[in-house]
Amino acid sequence: MTVIDPLANLATLIRCPSVTPSEGGALSALEAMLKPLGFAVERVTAAEDGTPDIENLYARLGTDGPHLMFAGHTDVVPVGDEAAWTHGPFSADIADGEMYGRGAVDMKGGIACFAAAVARHIEKNGKPQGSISFLITGDEEGPAINGTVKLLEWAAAKGERWDACLVGEPTNPDKLGDMIKIGRRGSLSGTVTVHGVQGHAAYPHLADSPVRGILSLTQALMDPPFDAGTDDFQPSNLEVTTIDVANTAVNVIPAKASARFNIRFNDTWSVDSLKAEIIARLDRAGADSVLRPGRPPVKYDIVWSERPSHVFLTRNNALIASLSGAVEAVTGREPTLSTTGGTSDARFIKDYCPVVEFGLVGQTMHMVDERVAVADLETLTQIYETFISRWFGHAAD
Ligand SMILES: [Zn+2]
């Protein structure tokens, strides 16, 4: 079975130009790797008005439990300035022990290694005592509407159930073995608009400056801190990302001012409790900081972004121990169990089964000259293979 070689698998995948939303041949290439291993492969195209149709793939080996899912994406971000690449972004060229190509680490590399790990497991032990599935989307780097969410719904509707999931996103900051993600912070954004009264800057008593109001309100959003963090999470943090007045005249008090903010929050909050806290802060600051002495409280409105990301933390010890034990057995390093960084598709999977994330070193992801150390591909394959053995061992206990 050639699938046992992660380097060959990755070269095949990199040569498919699967920039979101294009399938680029990548899912067909993966299908060709999985079918000889005995996987039943299904291709699922998802559509929704206003977004491009997206091809996805679901493949399962085995019919019994326990059931381990590997999740990821074959789509990649655009190459940027192609001329700036040392080797072509779809070349899979190897130089100085590194393979070049868009998606090398994010995350065709993870898929290439997991496929190789399954092939090796089968070669040594036969089919697993249970089931392994691949849930692979072509819409992770895009709007993520026709990807993992719909694929999970589709699979669950036809009776698929999972006991655990490993997401193969790049999780290591510097070296393979640094970090496993066992949860993710939530993310919530909003836009606050303060309405004032437009007027002449020399006659402020006839106007209400919304700029004064937006400054007070944004200050109240940023201070005091929302919490001090927990054992598992960093403190929640709100950043005001832009303040917009769009005023081109120096002698005009504008009519309104807006600010946008984004908060990354830990599990001391839910989306609802956080919204309530933010509104309480805005109401207080609005009441305390009239635009001019004698004026009524600052009037504002707030629009929340659609589809906030919910916070989650995985507490499945068998899953975490299988993975972190595998990392340590292969690399000799004890990985940090982390909840840092941005959101990932794990935020959707957590509604179906416990989920952890471990993949390659993320340093070059989304950059020109994205590349992966050839040695890391072999190491990650060994980690995944060890993880598979340990997880099925634990799950059978
Ligand atoms: Zn990714």
Q: What is the pLDDT of residues 166-187, one digit of tens each?
A: 999 999 999 999 999 999 999 9
Tokens 């993310």 belong to which residue? 187
Q: What's the Cα-to-Cα distance from 99 to each of 65, 131, 217, 370, rounded to whole Å?
A: 37, 31, 49, 9
Cα 396 to averaged position of ligand 1 atoms, centre (Å): 31
Cα 257 to averaged position of ligand 1 atoms, centre (Å): 36
Cα 242 to averaged position of ligand 1 atoms, centre (Å): 27
Cα 233 to averaged position of ligand 1 atoms, centre (Å): 22
What proportion of the chain, given as a percentage, has pLDDT over 90? 87
Nearest to 358 by CA among 375, 344, 371: 344
Which residues sit with Cβ closer than 5 angstroms to ligand 1, an ion? 106-107, 169
Nearest to 73 by CA among 312, 326, 348: 348
Cα 323 to averaged position of ligand 1 atoms, centre (Å): 19
Q: Which residues are catalytic?
A: 75, 140
Q: What's the Cα-to-Cα distance from 251 to each of 69, 194, 199, 200, 275, rounded to whole Å?
A: 62, 19, 9, 6, 36
Tell me the DSSP string of 208-256.
B-HHHHHHHHHHHHHSS-S----SSSPPPEEEEEEEE-----TTEE-SE
Cα 169 to averaged position of ligand 1 atoms, centre (Å): 5
Q: What is the pLDDT of residue 263?
A: 97
Range scoring the smallest mean pLDDT among 132-146, 200-214, 285-299: 285-299
Measured CA to CA, the distance from residue 256 to residue 259 in angstroms comes to: 10
4 has pLDDT over 90:
yes
Model confidence pLDDT, tens digit, residues 61-87: 999 999 999 999 999 999 999 999 999
Cα 106 to averaged position of ligand 1 atoms, centre (Å): 5
Model confidence band, residue 1 (pLDDT cutoffs 50, 70, 90): low
Phi, psi (5° rounding) for residue 4?
-65, -10
Model confidence pLDDT, tens digit, residues 277-291: 999 999 999 888 765
Which two tokens mark 368?
């020109």
Q: What is the pLDDT of residue 307?
A: 85
397 has pLDDT over 60:
no
pTM for the model stands at: 0.89
Task: Compute how many other C-beta atoms are within 10 angstroms of the C-beta atom of residue 224.
Answer: 7
Q: What is the pLDDT of residue 291?
A: 53
Helix (H, G, I), strand (E, B) or coil at 188: strand
Structural domains for the chain: 6-184+311-396 (3.40.630.10), 186-304 (3.30.70.360)
Cα 5 to averaged position of ligand 1 atoms, centre (Å): 22
Residue 187 forms beta bridges with which residues?
264, 309
251's CB contacts (< 8 A; 6+ apart) are 200, 201, 202
Measured CA to CA, the distance from residue 145 to residue 152 in angstroms comes to: 12
121 has pLDDT over 80:
yes
Cα 141 to averaged position of ligand 1 atoms, centre (Å): 7
102 has pLDDT over 70:
yes
Q: What angle do CA 34, 35, 41 make, to 5 degrees?
A: 85
Measured CA to CA, the distance from residue 18 to residue 54 in angstroms comes to: 11
DSSP H helical ranges for the chain = 6-14, 26-34, 108-125, 148-157, 210-222, 271-288, 317-331, 346-349, 374-396
Query: Measured in whole angstroms, how far is the alpha carbon of residue 31 from the centre of its chain?
Result: 24
DSSP H helical ranges for 43-147 = 108-125
Cα 46 to averaged position of ligand 1 atoms, centre (Å): 19
